[in-house]
């Protein structure tokens, strides 16, 4: 496959790659992961118009609890109101643009650190000192709210006011998760890191089982070896695979009462396109939210939640340490690969059989669907 040299050429290549039959699936050439113009194109055409997971609703259990986030340069304030609803507000003072909050906390009012305008927990302007005659009011100077939805305890936001709702797209994913009690799982810890990789590389890495026994010989191979992994459900909204535990692996907990023995002995990994990656097991739910920053830089926010009180604090700390180590192992590979992918020879190589890399083929078809509508508007190759 020839490396394309224009956006239109790249889009044509993406459509070609996505149209390959599953048994002949190929990866995308390196330029899709390294070209800053292509990254800007992705952000403008679909990334900034799709739903992104920001975190878990039980990170902010009480009215006034909040955490801050960011999507494509847009500062966000995720806050629980007095009515119990979670809102995703603009984290920017309506006076002259000072960020209103940092990190996470709990507050009755958001008071701007610059000139002390204050806002309530639903973003309504409460007070603007010395502005009585300036026509400033809650009607014209409250914090704008972004579209948001809750699903299974996850908080999602969309910067596009006209986007189609998320929940109707999740019916099949719901059937995959329905017995795990995903919505009731309780947050244990959250972390944020910056990785020097393209956002798609992490999606592909998290969603393929081919590397598990090679990159994670001590951390994952003993209980989720490549050879036992099986591709699972997929549709327009997501893809998934099951990482099955060998009979020799110790039990990893019972979890929700309705789980089948098979469900107790596997982790189901899913990607809710485009940027949420999660591993659902009986007693543990790990979810990574990717915030693409630049073509070769992402922020990763990950949360670790557990089912009821089955795992002891020691066991939870061991799982957290394991996930840190697994992420470190993946990150090292992805950061090296990112540098190499700028090569003029960065290949389009054959993907492994469907149980191991079929999820990447699904991801490419998502990418192709999201860019197909915009392709005719691009200059010809
Ligand atoms: S920028 Fe917030 S009060 Fe002036
Ligand atoms: Fe990995």
Give the model confidence (pLDDT) of 341-380 as tens digits. Answer: 999 888 899 999 999 999 999 999 999 999 987 654 444 4
Nearest residue to 273 (alpha-carbon basis) of 42, 17, 79: 42
- In short, whether 114's Cβ falls inside 6 Å of ligand 1 is yes
Q: Is the CB of 115 under 6 A from ligand 1?
A: yes
Cβ burial of 164 (10 Å; 0-12, 13-18, 19+) is exposed
Q: What is the mean pLDDT of residues 291-296?
A: 98
Interatomic CA distance for residues 358 and 294, integer angstroms: 27
Going by alpha carbons, the residue nearest to atom 3 of ligand 1 is 115
**What would you report as the CA-atom Rg of the chain, rounded to the nearest whole angstrom?**
22
In short, whether 54's Cβ falls inside 6 Å of ligand 1 is: no
Q: Model confidence over 24-60: pLDDT tens digits?
A: 999 999 999 999 999 999 999 999 999 999 999 999 9
Nearest Cα neighbor of 215 from 360, 350, 325 is 325
CA separation, residue 261 to residues 180, 238, 252, 253 (Å): 12, 24, 12, 11
Q: Which ligand is nearest to the CA of 143?
A: 1
Question: Does the pLDDT of residue 296 top 90, yes or no?
Answer: yes
Q: Is 334 helix (H, G, I), strand (E, B) or coil?
A: helix
Give the closest ligand to the alpha carbon of residue 128: 1
CB of 98 closer than 6 angstroms to any ligand 1 atom: yes
For ligand 1, what atom is nearest to the CA of residue 115?
Answer: 3
How many angstroms separate the Cα of 252 from the Cα of each of 160, 245, 264? 40, 10, 8
What are the pLDDT digits (tens) for 227-286?
999 999 999 999 999 999 999 998 888 999 999 999 999 999 999 999 999 999 999 999
* Average pLDDT of the chain, as a whole number: 95
Pocket test for ligand 1, best of 100, 114, 118, 123 (most atoms within 8 A of CB): 114
Atom of ligand 1 nearest to the CA of 94: 2
Which residues have beta carbons under 5 A from ligand 2 (an ion)?
330
Q: What is the pLDDT of residue 3?
A: 63
What is the pLDDT, as a whole number, of residue 376? 47
pLDDT tens, position by position, 161-175 = 999 999 999 999 999
Q: What is the pLDDT of residues 308-329, one digit of tens each?
A: 999 999 999 999 999 999 999 9
Distance CA 283, CA 266 (A): 11
Which pLDDT tens digit goes with each residue over 57-113? 999 999 999 999 999 999 999 999 999 999 999 999 999 999 999 999 999 999 999
Q: How far is the CA of 279 from the centre of ligand 2 (A)?
A: 12
Superfamily of domain 52-158: Rieske [2Fe-2S] iron-sulphur domain (2.102.10.10)
Q: Between 7-19 and 354-372, two packed helices, what is the crossing angle to 10 degrees? A: 140
Ligand 1: which residue has its CA nearest to atom 1? 96
pTM: predicted TM-score of the whole model, two decimal places: 0.96
Return the percentage of the chain with pLDDT > 70, whole number: 97
Atom of ligand 1 nearest to the CA of 128: 3
Fold of 7-50+168-375: Naphthalene 1,2-dioxygenase Alpha Subunit; Chain A, domain 1 (3.90.380)
As given in the structure block, the two tokens for residue 204 are 């592909």
Distance 322 CA to ligand 2 centre (A): 12
Domain residue ranges of the chain, discontinuous segments joined by +: 7-50+168-375, 52-158
Encode burial over 274-302: b for 16+ CB neighbours within 10 A, e otherwise: bbbbbbbbbbbbbbbbbbbbebbbbbbbb
Ligand 1 center to 113 CA (angstroms): 7
Q: Tell me: cis bond preceding 311? Omega within 30 of 0 counts.
A: no
Q: Which helix (H) or strand (E) holds 302?
A: strand 297-306
pLDDT of residue 4: 67
Question: Cα(133) to centroid of ligand 2, in Å?
Answer: 59
């Amino acid at each position: 496959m020839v490396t394309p040299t224009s956006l239109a050429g790249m889009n044509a290549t993406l459509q070609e790659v996505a149209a390959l039959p599953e048994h002949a699936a190929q990866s995308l050439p390196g330029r899709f992961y390294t070209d800053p113009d292509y990254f800007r194109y992705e952000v403008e055409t679909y990334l900034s118009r799709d739903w992104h997971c920001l975190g878990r609703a039980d990170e902010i259990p009480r009215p006034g609890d909040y955490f801050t986030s960011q999507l494509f340069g847009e500062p966000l304030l995720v806050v629980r109101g007095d009515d119990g609803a979670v809102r995703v507000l603009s984290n920017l003072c309506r006076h002259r643009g000072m960020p209103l909050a940092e990190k996470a906390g709990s507050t009755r009012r958001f008071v701007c650190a610059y000139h002390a305008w204050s806002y309530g927990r639903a973003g309504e302007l409460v007070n603007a000192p010395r502005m009585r005659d300036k026509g400033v009011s809650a009607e014209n100077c409250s914090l704008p709210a972004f579209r948001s939805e809750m699903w299974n305890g996850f908080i999602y936001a969309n910067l596009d006011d006209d986007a189609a709702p998320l929940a109707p797209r999740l019916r099949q994913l719901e059937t995959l998760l329905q017995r795990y009690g995903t919505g009731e799982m309780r947050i244990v810890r959250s972390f944020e890191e910056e990785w020097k990789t393209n956002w798609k590389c992490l999606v592909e890495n998290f969603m393929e089982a081919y590397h598990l026994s090679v990159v994670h010989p001590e951390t994952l191979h003993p209980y989720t070896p490549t050879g036992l992994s099986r591709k699972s459900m997929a549709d327009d909204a997501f893809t998934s695979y099951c990482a099955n535990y060998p009979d020799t692996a110790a039990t990893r907990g019972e979890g929700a009462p309705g789980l089948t023995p098979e469900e107790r002995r596997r982790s189901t990994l899913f990607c809710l396109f485009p940027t949420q990656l999660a591993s659902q097991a009986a007693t543990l739910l790990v979810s990574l939210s990717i915030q693409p920053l630049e073509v070769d830089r992402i922020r990763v926010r990950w949360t670790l939640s557990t089912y009821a009180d089955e795992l002891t604090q020691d066991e939870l700390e061991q799982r957290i340490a394991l996930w840190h180590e697994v992420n470190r192992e993946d990150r090292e590979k992805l950061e090296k690969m990112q540098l190499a992918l700028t090569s003029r020879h960065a290949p389009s190589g054959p993907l492994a059989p469907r149980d191991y890399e079929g999820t990447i083929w699904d991801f490419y078809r998502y990418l192709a669907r999201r860019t197909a509508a915009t392709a005719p508007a691009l200059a010809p190759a």
